[in-house]
Amino acid sequence: MGVRFRKSVKLAPGLRMNFSGSGVSWTVGPRGASLGLGKNGIHLNTGIPGSGFYSRQRIHNAGSISRSSGKAITSVPITVHIDESGIISFLDTNGNPAPESWVTAAQKQQGDAIRGLIQTECDKINAQIEALGQLHHDTPNPLLRPRYQRMSFDNPEPVQPVFIKPGFFAALFKRDRERIERENADKQCSYEKVLQEWECAKHEFEIREANRKQLIEHGIYSDTIAMATFLEDTLQDIVWPKETDVSFDIFDEGKHVFLDVDLPEIEDMPTKTATAPLRGYRLNIKDISPAKIRALYMQHVHGVGFRIIGATFAALPIAEEVTLSGYSQRVDAATAQIHDEYLYSVRVRRADWKMIQFNNLPALDVVEALARFELRRDMSKAAVFKPIEPIIP
């Protein structure tokens, strides 16, 4: 049987957006999309909710705003806010509705910028839906083996300090000479300390690079622990739309890999879609039908499995067979307890996996693609899953 290795990996999402009571929000943007218009110009306000981090990005300078016929818009900034229903509100610094004259001036002077903000929010809401359904598009070709590419050490070497040269009068007076000597000595001491830290950092970098080179060129072909390390790094590098947990076993000296995937719940799927009209200041928000949500969930959970299988074959060139089982947390109607239920389980051999056209994955039906292999799945045409018994080692 050989050495068996088990590893669990928590894969954090790269981008997640949701609707809250205070408006549109996302993990890399503001709570409520906002555009500030004031005497210093027009700014896009962004921040990470709950983190305390905040930034302002200038979009237009003050010149375009200062042409306003009223002073209010040039002296008191207003914020454009989009709520969860897509309604646009113009607010003053206290969060109260801005006077109609300010709103009229803002729409007249910065209408394109405001509509651009609305379109940006629309695109971000819809981008999540696309990302969930297209996760498998970036699955790597198993014929391309991992290659080591040296990373650069971007920390520049410290520069030798410029020392103070004693002038004519400093040469005559001992106190001045001693002061200059102390300052130069302090500069040299600081330089040597920084240089030593830089040399240590560069030495550690070289060690990490040597280890990474050894891992990619040799370790993943012979060392089970190295295989697990590289597979974990590979899975972590994927941009996951939703949090996904993976546990895996590597055994038979790397020839067989078993993966257990904790899939997102159907309740995690987005329930809203958006459109931005060409005219007016409104973001049209519509509910996604339950049937389309189930279809999106079906597409996503199969895409997760497809992407992980592909990443495993690409990361571990000697793996001959990959078995993946995806489960979800469900409520038992009889006990109201939450427990794991497997939705599907699939065993894939590398020889069969290589038959897929990886240069044309957008044309692939990922749900049907997994059915080409040894698959256990009890799913209705309406994308309703019933629990199954997974394939076991």
> What does the DSSP assignment read for 145-174?
-----PPP--SPPPPPPPPPPP-HHHHH-H
Query: Helices in 55-99 by DSSP H: which ranges?
Result: 62-66, 72-75
Rg, Å, the chain Cα set: 29
| Whether residue 334 sits in one domain with residue 292 | yes
Residue that is last in its domain, among 98, 133, 168 = 133
CA-CA distance, 60 to 204, in Å (whole number)?
45
Q: For 21-31, b where at least 16 C-beta lie within 10 A, e where not — what string? A: eebbbbeebbb
pLDDT at 71 over 80: no
| Whether residue 9 sits in one domain with residue 91 | no
What is the token pair recorded at 62?
């003050």
Task: Give the total number of structural domains in the chain.
Answer: 2
| Whether residue 49 sits in one domain with residue 75 | yes
Check residue 12 and give its pLDDT.
Answer: 61
Average of per-residue pLDDT across 136-165: 92
Q: Which domain holds residue 23?
A: 17-133
Percent of the chain predicted with pLDDT > 90: 51
| Whether residue 355 sits in one domain with residue 303 | yes
Q: How many CB atoms lie within 10 A of CB 279?
A: 6
Check residue 250 and give its pLDDT.
Answer: 94
Residue 125, domain member (yes or no): yes
* Most confidently predicted of 232-246, 271-285, 332-346, 356-370: 356-370
pLDDT in tens, 197-251: 999 999 999 999 999 999 999 999 999 999 999 999 999 999 888 888 999 999 9
Burial of 287 (C-beta count, 10 Å sphere; 0-12/13-18/19+): exposed
* Most confidently predicted of 55-59, 142-146, 160-164, 274-278: 142-146
Task: Quickly tell me which residue has 């000296």 as its tokens.
Answer: 253
Residue 44, domain member (yes or no): yes
Q: How many CB atoms lie within 10 A of CB 315?
A: 23
| Whether residue 228 sits in one domain with residue 81 | no
Which of 105, 98, 43, 95 has its CA nearest to residue 74? 105
| Whether residue 93 sits in one domain with residue 11 | no
Q: Is residue 53 classed as helix, strand or coil in its secondary structure?
A: coil
CA-CA distance, 297 to 304, in Å (whole number)?
10
Task: Quickly tell me which residue has 């072909």 as its tokens.
Answer: 221
What is the token pair recorded at 16?
């997640």
What pTM, to 2 d.p., does this model score?
0.73
| Whether residue 76 sits in one domain with residue 36 | yes
pLDDT at 196 over 80: yes
CA-CA distance, 32 to 45, in Å (whole number)?
10
Percent of the chain predicted with pLDDT > 70: 79
Q: How many CB atoms lie within 10 A of CB 283?
A: 24
Which of 281, 241, 198 has its CA nearest to residue 12? 241
**CA 61 remoteness from chain centre:** 31
pLDDT in tens, 38-49: 545 555 554 333
Average of per-residue pLDDT across 132-157: 93
Of the two residues 333 and 18, the one the predictor is more confident about is 333
- ∠ Cα 88 93 97 (to 5°): 40
pLDDT at 35 over 70: no
What is the token pair recorded at 91?
């607010």
| Whether residue 247 sits in one domain with residue 343 | yes
Residues making up the chain, counted from first to last: 393
Average of per-residue pLDDT across 383-392: 94
Asked if residue 32 lies in contact with residue 49, where contact means CB atoms within 8 angstroms, the answer is no
CA-CA distance, 96 to 341, in Å (whole number)?
49
Which of 293, 9, 307 has its CA nearest to residue 136? 307
| Whether residue 121 sits in one domain with residue 26 | yes
